[in-house]
Amino acid sequence: MNAHAWKALLALLICTASACSRSDTATPAATVGEATPRSGAVNADRLAAADDEPGSWMSHGRTYDEQRFSPLEQVDRDNVDRLGLAWTYKLDVDRETEATPIVVDGTMYVTGAFSIVSALDAATGKELWKFDPKVPRDKGRDGCCGVPNRGVAVWEGKVFVGAYDGRLIALDAGSGKPVWQTDTIVDHQRSYTITGAPRVVKGKVVIGNGGAEFGVRGYVSAYEADSGALAWRFFTVPGDPEQPPENKAMEIARPTWKGTRYASFGGGGTVWDSMAYDPVLDLLYIGTGNGSTWNRHLRSPGGGDNLFLSSIIALRPDTGEYVWHYQTTPGESWDFTATQHIVLADLSIDDVPRKVLMQAPKNGFFYVIDRATGELLSADKFAPATWASHVDPETGRPVETEIADWGKTAQLIAPGPLGAHNWQPMSFNPQTGYVYIPMQEAMALYVPDPQQTYSGKGTWHLGTQPLALPESSAELRAAAESLKGHLIAWDPVTRREVWRQSHVTLWNGGTLSTAGGLVFQGTADGRFVAYAADSGEKLWETPAHTGVMAGPISYEIDGEQFVSVAAGWGGAFPLALGGLSEPAKVRASARVLTYKLGGRAKLSPPRYEPAPLPEPPPLSDDADRIARGRDLYNTHCGACHGMSAVAGSVLPDLRYLTPARHESFDAILGGALAARGMPSFSATLSADDIDAVRQYVIKRAHDLQDDLARQGTQAEERRTP
């Protein structure tokens, strides 16, 4: 019997004797037995010495510094063409798949949509256990961009997952049974979510929340890993201006906000993704998100930097005490989050050794910062950015251009809210000295809406007019051609791009670099690719049969190196604008794909049957009603089903509604399909509003029917709603 078989048998015996007989309902720690002694045995010493066991991937970025560099070199540039599929594992829900798997002692822990956790034998992909936190399927309305989860943390026999509905849950690493759970949400009247991966630092589980677009106040919380008790909480923006500031940080932030309106919108600044930790300096670094609303004139009349929006903040992990901050985008007004991947490294800058922090946030500038002091060392454009000409090296502030301020007049600005780099993680290779960034080009037209007020939970609050794309075929083609995605290698010392590989469209995957001289990345058009780390030469690719967005990992079992990635299409761009990237022609098919040298497994492509376009109902002659329906659709429906005349590429295309679905349109928007993920809008839209939306959907169907007739075809590759 091999080592994996013994491990599986041991887990089965322990499970039979204790935890597996218990209910899946989360219970207090006191009622659950100790974690299995050989499962998830990660601690501070082991993480600090992660390079001593390069075959593991024990934390989100492999190490505390989040470099996403694997020291493994069995797979290298000379033999990568022999890489083949070792195994696949089908995830439960075919939605956005954004998790970084964790591999500890031969077990892989990975999450999918709705925060479902699976434990797998990392050598074979065999499922060991699964935990579904039972997130309500209509909860997606309370958050931006789907229902993703970016992974778990493992610590001293427990697996920690942040559920989309705001619960932080500790699971027994050996059995998957709940040990404890806690509610991280401070106000259930607001649309808080969790999509990010927890980090564990000094025995504390650190997690942030999402929801800035919906009107929340950002914060990050730390919980005791053994009990789930709250250790500390750090708010990132001021609260009620009628109340005194909670601490020193809020005393600093309060004067940078003007008026009182920001409190009604929450302010934003959510900590929904990036973190890193320096155990020598004992500093925890967090990245904060955009303002709520985006429109700073609406959010903070009279101006102000609005700390700590779009900032990198250094905290003491024991207490949450503020140490320093650097704000990438003062007065943030473009959805330019600084929640993108934070990487720590030791570099020689101007021949001086520096402990640095690096980030390539949405705003298009690459930052190198002294991580001990917060001093800006450099900031350079890594992508087209028309909102600022440069960053002043003396003040550290961006110099805005004449088109940057759209608060009173609409402006076309690059990058747009999708950013020059979104959540897909970058990696740093200490051998080449390069950072590998999934870069994007996607500008946007910002149109002010100065009358917007906070209108309750589940509603977008951007301070802009609803996005309305042009609907002619020529204009749509032009819009599609403006969306570009690239993989770039950036040298943070010489401050320049070294090489790039351009993709079919934007929204490509995170990156992994290895000591084998390789960079791995998935693509929006359904491929998994390896490049030479020094030159960018493409060395290997294989079909993934779905868009790949997550960051890959590499690990070793019994002397054999594996490369693995969680694949599945979805997220902000595929949901709202995926129809603009028709060259990709991918759908959501959520799987873990794992490769090794000589792998011989086969990947079956997903099956999508072409669906004929049903004959749409008669077209209304009420142009005003259709126009109102378009605005309502773009405000409440487009983020999931596609904006304006553009369908998404994940959820059903409403132009293909059947006659039966049209007849039950009112009931569907009233919650009839809530169990399948379609939330109720009965508290938001009146019956007249719902009819206006339906009339606009009918118009879109007639427009498509006319387009198909001109093309001489009556079918497209779409799933029938």
Q: Rounded to whole angstroms, how far apart are CA atoms 604 and 584?
A: 18
Element (DSSP H or E) covering residue 699: helix 687-711
DSSP annotation of 607 reads P
- Amino acid identity, position 237: V
Q: Which residues pair with 104 in a beta bridge?
A: 107
Q: Rounded to whole angstroms, how far apart are CA atoms 389 and 443?
A: 16
Quote the distance between the C-alpha of residue 30 and its chain's center: 34
94, 105, 273, 335: the catalytic one is: 335
Structure tokens at 386: 């028309």
Q: Which residues pair with 234 in a beta bridge?
A: 220
Structure tokens at 311: 């900032």
DSSP annotation of 584 reads T
468: exposed, middle or buried (C-beta count within 10 Å: 0-12, 13-18, 19+)? middle
Q: Which residues pair with 674 in a beta bridge?
A: none
Q: Is 282 a catalytic residue?
A: no
Furthest-apart CA atoms within the chain: distance in Å: 74
Residue 428: strand, helix, or coil: strand
442: CB partners within 8 A, 6+ apart: 414, 415, 416, 418, 419, 482, 483, 484, 506, 573
562: exposed, middle or buried (C-beta count within 10 Å: 0-12, 13-18, 19+)? buried
Structure tokens at 537: 């030469």
Residue 654: strand, helix, or coil: helix
Q: Rounded to whole angstroms, how far apart are CA atoms 459 and 141?
A: 8
* Best CA proximity match to 313, nearest among 428, 236, 232, 202: 236
Show the DSSP H helices in 521-622 as ranges: 572-577
Sheet with 127-131, strands from edge to edge, namely 102-104, 107-111, 117-121, 127-131
* Best CA proximity match to 524, nearest among 497, 502, 499: 502
- Amino acid identity, position 466: P
Q: Helix 623-636 crosses helix 687-711 at what angle (to 10 degrees)?
A: 100
8 A C-beta contact, residue 182 and residue 198? no
Q: Rounded to whole angstroms, how far apart are CA atoms 458 and 190?
A: 8
Supply the residues annotated as catalytic. 335
